[in-house]
Amino acid sequence: MAALRYAGLDDTDSEDELPLGWEQRTTKDGWVYYANHTEEKTQWEHPKTGKRKRIAGDLPYGWEQETDENGQVYFVDHINKRTTYLDPRLAFTVDDNPTKPTTRQRYDGSTTAMEILQGRDFTGKVVVVTGANSGIGFETAKSFALHGAHVILACRNMTRANEAVSRILGEWHKAKVEAMTLDLAQLRSVQHFAQAFKAKNVPLHVLVCNAAAFALPWSLTKDGLETTFQVNHLGHFYLVQLLQDVLCRSAPARVVVVSSESHRFTDINDSSKNLDFSRLSPSKNDYWAMLAYNRSKLCNILFSNELHRRLSPRGVTSNAVHPGNMMYSSLHRHWWVYTLLFTLARPFTKSMISRFLVESGLS
């Protein structure tokens, strides 16, 4: 009761009084949730009234929100030099009980990432996003970081990756975000990344396989494989295999594979309906950039489906995501024709991150 009195919450009516064993908490976004210490569970609805609540207004003058080593939010009163785990604004909450709309009603082309993640608290969660220095990857990493997650940007170009980290920290200086080297075109780099990540001794709750190459001229990687196939599929396949034990130990965990609707416009089987390995990593004479991209995206779909079948019983789910038709990103940068096409289509494309969060099941 002393803590309640200090936060100004001791004078409550019987309707809002919590049952024994319950505690009221807030997220960084100002949403109220309730922790049941007896059953070790949390929920958004008040255990008595069934109402959802959110905080109204900013923190009082002299107060600051912090996060402890366990990821729990607490509040510092700098004027009186005291701390409390109770949000001082809890005395001024407002009800939030909208009728539950469908996903189609809730989100549209103008929806922002912050609107989709409103009320979500990823404090204590560890997220790895490949290709996170620009485009969908950057927006995904930023959104997770601004909602409390510890985010690792797994990128080939560390200069651009560090710039991306700085941009995120510029929006919230307390964001837990860092960059690590990962070059999917080199399987040894994938192995080194996995080893370095495991050395951190942290869990892995979300792995977003986002990095991709598009419209590349034909080339072979140092591993002797066609570049589009290795970067878009095989590198991620190997990464998931190396981190599979960490994902299972961190369950519930999720793998999100960014694919494309273009996977429908190709095939990887021969005339006998058997897998044709020569189509996965074609020779220069048999190479067409768009077809190579489509095949790599088909591999993404097949991989994600099989991964979910194998790991979901162990608490690890896998989702393949189509981020949106003609969505504007930096994938087109390797050929001027695609750059022109994407530029003309940009006014009609969806926000990079909003569609991704909806379809991956992370919202």
- For residue 353, the one-letter residue type is I
Distance between CA atoms of 355 and 233, rounded to whole angstroms?
21
Residue 124 in 3-state DSSP? coil
Tokens of 197: 């990540």
As a whole number of angstroms, the distance between CA 330 and CA 44 comes to: 38
* Catalytic entry in 34, 107, 293, 328: 293
Q: Could you give the dihedral angle defined by the CA atoms of residues 300, 301, 306 and 311, in that order, rounded to the nearest 10 degrees?
A: 70
Is the separation of the CB atoms in 341 and 332 below 8 Å?
A: yes
Nearest residue to 293 via CA among 356, 354, 335: 335
Amino acid of residue 269 = N
d(CA 37, CA 116): 29
Nearest to 222 by CA among 230, 210, 214: 230
Cβ neighbors of 255 (< 8 A, separation 6 or more) are 206, 207, 209, 240, 247, 304, 307, 311, 316, 317, 318, 319
Catalytic residue status for 293: yes
Beta strand 22-26 with 32-36 is: antiparallel
- Angstrom distance (rounded) from CA 266 to CA 310: 26
- Report in angstroms the alpha-carbon separations of 325 from 38, 145, 198, 288, 342: 47, 26, 36, 21, 11
Contacts of 344 (CB under 8 A, 6+ apart): none
Does 252 sit behind a cis peptide bond, omega within 30 degrees of 0 on the bond before it? yes
Q: For 277, left (φ over 0), alpha (ψ -120 to 50), or beta? A: alpha
DSSP 42-67: EESS-TTT---EEE-SPPPTTEEEEE
Query: So which residues are the catalytic ones?
Result: 293
